[in-house]
Structures are given as structure tokens and as C-alpha cells.
Amino acid sequence: MRHKVTLLPGEGIGPEVSAATKRILEAAGVQIDWEEIDPRASGTAEKGQLLNTAAIESVKRNGVALKGPMATAVAGGAPSVNVALRKTLDLYANLRPVKNLPGVKSRFDNVDVVLVRENTEDLYSGLEHEVVPGVVESLKIITERASTRIAKFAFEYAKRSGRKKIHAIHKANIMKLSDGLFLKSIRAVAEKFPEIEYKELIVDNACMQMVLKPEQYDMLLLPNLYGDVMSDLAAGLVGGLGVVPSGNIGDQAAMFEAVHGTAPDIAGKGLANPTALLMSSIMMLDHLGERSAARRIESALEKVYKEAKHTTQDVGGKATTAEFTDALIAALPQH
Ligand code: NAI
């Protein structure tokens, strides 16, 4: 079957890892017509606008996108294109599976956890203002609607993928109203899934437990900010952001992206590791129903990492992006 997918190659190393991923998917025999487009509005054509309208329309039309990283200015400057895309397309569920990859050195070898992060509200609502000089306010928005739909997403995902246990992560002991509503909404959903064990943990304790005994976690369900922090923490347990994928999923569209940034220090040097975007594209293939190609790419990826002859510098190897990509294509099982 042929698929139409929007490709947002991104900035920095984005175009390099996107090109590598495209080559591998093609070599695996997946038939994709890519609609390649820059999600950032060009200054003159769409003055004052952050997102390229044509890119949004393309994702809405195709329902699926693969996205490379986009740069965001720190403290001031334009808001994040990444956050704007998720909001505009209402991609409310951020799905981040974190699992050891054979051959990648890490402190633990038994991590297999899926984090589900609410993607649209909390402190990411962008509602900040100066009250008086020297005092600023940043609003944390939690709604019953968004908390309930992310809970439904997580429990349905658990059921579908054979996961057994969900921990909701919160700080409702301090933020009694906001995190309290998050928990209350989840509890109502959890009751409808008696086959999934449901537990709650305060975020600081959850972080400590994560670096002590990550194997105790099966799935975590988190509001936006804790989800952002804990998913990078979890990635660190298996070798870092270069080896973990992510999906941003909504009812109308899904966008799969690497969680690392644009890596300006190595951009354009042919050194970037495409693994994270490739793993995200494997999630995308599963979403598209291309399970056989997804498993073949997964098996080639494991082989390349087990052999450890053609891995990139960020994971202790010496290979360039092109050498890694060639090795992966050579390792693809025949179909
Ligand atoms: P970063 O992830 O770009 O880089 C951190 C370190 O990891 C650097 O040493 C980099 O070389 C390395 N690295 C990252 N990805 C790699 C890969 N695929 N292969 C090899 N090495 C890799 O994080 P940083 O420096 O904080 O952010 C740079 C820019 O990226 C910022 O403008 C930030 O806003 C943006 N960013 C975008 C994201 C997205 O589009 N989803 C996510 C995170 C950051």
C-alpha cells in the first residue's frame, strides 16, 4: 500500500537525519510519497505568523507526519514551533517508549517503560505576563477535558499493547487544585479499566525511583511539565536522546519526531545519529499498519547496534551518518 506522509525535515541536523531515515524506509520497501515542507512561516509571506499554513494543511490532509527538530530561542524571541505545531494540530498525547537498545552503554539494562505526557496545557499554555516590574506570573492550566482524554489514551494504549500497570505522576500535595483535578480525572477513567493496575506517585519520589529501580515502571501518565522532564530522565537511563523515539498523537493527525534538538554543534558535519528519528519512523510505520517493515527495520537496527562496528560518535562509535545508514540498509532482512 502507498502512503502519503508529510515530512518536516527540521533544522540543524534535521535534514541529515531525515534524509537517512527516508533512505532506510525506502530500502525496506515501504512505499511513501513524501510531502516535504518547512513548518516555520517564512518572514515575508506570512508576517507575524509562526507556522507555515501550507505545512499545517499538509499534515491535516495526510493525517501523518515525520518531523525533524526545530530550534527555539531561550528566554525571549519567537515561541517554539514545536509547541505551536502540537497545539495547532491538537496532538494531545505525547507517547515516549523508552527501552534499552542492545550494545548502547547505559547504567541499566532492564528499562522498558512507556511515558504518556499530556501535550496541550499545564505550564505550556504560554500564558505569562509581568504583574508589576520584578514580578511575573506564569499560568498552569489543567482541565478535566484534557486530563480525561489523555487518561483514556493511556489506558487504551495499555490495553492494546499488553501493558499491565500505569503510574500517574503528580504534585497534588502542593498544587491541590490543578494536579488534584488531573488525578481526579484519571481515577474516573482508571475505574473503567480494572485489568490495568493503577498507582499514583508524587513527581519528586517518582524521579528518585526512576534512577534507582526503573524496572518497576511499566507506563507513566504525566501532565505536560513533569512529562517533559521525566521523559528525558528516562531517556538518559538507556543512553540519551539519540536513541529514543516519540509520537505526538491526536484524533485527526499523528506526528512522529525525534526528541533530541537540532544539535548545532555537529550540524552539517555528517556526524548526526539518525537512530531516534528512525525509531520514531518505526512507530509511524506501526501507526500506518506497516508492521512487517517496522519489525524488519527494528531487527536491522538491533543488529547494527549489537555488532557495534558502524555506530555514530554520540554512542561511542566512529561511523558517519552515511556509514551508519549504509550498514543499516545492508542489515535489513529480506522480505
Ligand atoms: P540538542 O539535543 O540539540 O543537543 C544536545 C547534545 O546532544 C549536543 O551535544 C548534540 O550534538 C547531541 N545530539 C543531539 N542529537 C543528536 C543526534 N541525533 N546525533 C548525535 N548527537 C546528537 O539540545 P540543545 O543543544 O539543548 O538544543 C539545540 C536546539 O534544538 C535548541 O534551539 C532547542 O530549542 C532545539 N530543540 C528542539 C527540539 C525539537 O524540535 N523537538 C527538542 C529539543 C531541543
8-46 pLDDT per residue, tens: 999 999 999 999 999 999 999 999 999 999 999 886 556
Mutational test site, ligand 1, from 74, 262, 301, max ligand atoms within 8 Å of CB: 262
The candidate with the shortest Cα–Cα distance to 295, out of 20, 7, 29, 4, is: 29
Of the two residues 290 and 79, the one the predictor is more confident about is: 290
> Do 172 and 183 contact (CB within 8 A), yes or no?
yes
The single residue listed with the C-alpha cell 538491533 is: 302
258 with 206: CB under 8 angstroms?
A: no
Q: Identify the three-state secondary structure at position 332.
A: coil
- pLDDT of 236 > 80? The answer is yes
Query: Could you tell me if the CB of 119 is within 6 A of ligand 1?
Result: no
- Report the percent of the chain where pLDDT is more than 90: 85
H helices of 213-289, in order, are 224-237, 275-287
Domain with CATH 3.40.718.10 in the chain: 1-92+241-335, 107-237
Q: CA-CA distance, 91 to 251, in Å (whole number)?
A: 8
Which CATH superfamily is 107-237 part of?
Answer: Isopropylmalate Dehydrogenase (3.40.718.10)
pLDDT-derived band at 75 (thresholds 50, 70, 90) equals confident
Q: pLDDT class for 324, splitting at 50, 70, 90?
A: very high
- 327/112 Cα distance (integer angstroms): 26
Q: Report the SS3 class of residue 170.
A: strand
What Cα–Cα distance (Å) separates residue 235 from each residue in 101, 173, 206, 257? Answer: 11, 27, 15, 14
Quote the pLDDT of residue 25.
98
C-alpha–C-alpha distance, residues 278 and 276, integer Å: 5
* Closest atom of ligand 1 relative to the 263 alpha carbon: 3
CATH 3.40.50.150 fits 1-92+241-335, yes or no: no
Average pLDDT, the chain: 94
Q: How confident is the model at residue 126 (pLDDT cuts 50, 70, 90)?
A: confident
Mind listing the pLDDT tens digit for each residue in 192-226?
999 999 999 999 999 999 999 999 999 999 999 99
Does residue 245's CB lie within 6 angstroms of at least one atom of ligand 1?
no
pLDDT band per the 50, 70, 90 thresholds, residue 47: low
